[in-house]
A and B are shown apart, each in its own frame.
Chain A
Amino acid sequence: MNRWSERMIEAAIRFSGFVSIAFVVMIFLFLLTEGHALFRVTGLTDFLLGRNWHPISTPPQFGILPLLLGSLAVTAGASMMAVPLGIGTAVFIAEVAPKRLAGILKVGVELIAAIPSVVIGFVGMVLVAPVVREFFSLPVGLTAFTGSLMLALMSMPTMVSIAEDAIHAVPRQYKEAALAMGATRWQAIYRVILPAARPGILAAVMLGIGRVVGETMAVMMCTGGAVAIPSTLLQPVRTMTATIAAEMGETVRGSPHYNALFAIGIVLFLITLIINVTADLVIHRGRRDSP
Chain B
Amino acid sequence: MNEGNAGKPPGAMAGPPRRTVTALEAAERVSGPTPLAEAPETIVEVRNFNLYYGAFQALKNINVKIVRRAITAIIGPSGCGKSTLLRSVNRMNDLVPGVKTAGQILVDGEDIHGLGAEPVALRKKVGMVFQRPNPFPLSVFENMAFGPRIHGTFRKSEIHEAVERGLRAVLLWDELKDRLKASALSLSLEQQQRLCIARLLPVKPELLLMDEPCSALDPLATERVEELMQEMKENYSIVVVTHNMQQASRVSDHTGFMLLGELVEFGETREIFTHPHDHRTEDYITGRFG
Contact = CB atoms under 8 A, between A and B. Distances in A.
B134 A177 contact: yes
Nearest to A173: B134
Interface in B110-159: 119-124, 127-128, 130, 132, 134-138, 142, 146-147, 149-151
B95 A179 contact: yes
Main secondary structure of the interface of A (DSSP, over half): helix
Interface residues of A, number: 20
A173 B132 contact: yes
A178 interface: yes
Contact of A177 (B120, B121, B130): B130
A123 B231 CA distance: 69
B146 A180 contact: no
Interface string A168-197: 000101101111111110010001100110
A290 to B, nearest CB: 5
Which size class do B's interface residues fall under?
20 to 34
Interface string A143-181: 000000000000000000000000000010110111111
A179 B137 contact: no
A289 interface: yes
Contacts, number: 75
A180 B150 contact: no
A17 interface: no
Interface stretch (B5-13, B57-65, B195-203): B195-203
Contacts of B119: 182
A196 B151 CA distance: 21
Interface of A: 171, 173-174, 176-184, 187, 191-192, 195-196, 289-291
Interface of B: 90, 92, 95, 119-124, 127-128, 130, 132, 134-138, 142, 146-147, 149-151, 183, 185-186, 196, 199-200, 203
Given A176-B130, A191-B149, 4 more contacts: A180-B130, A181-B128, A181-B199, A195-B136
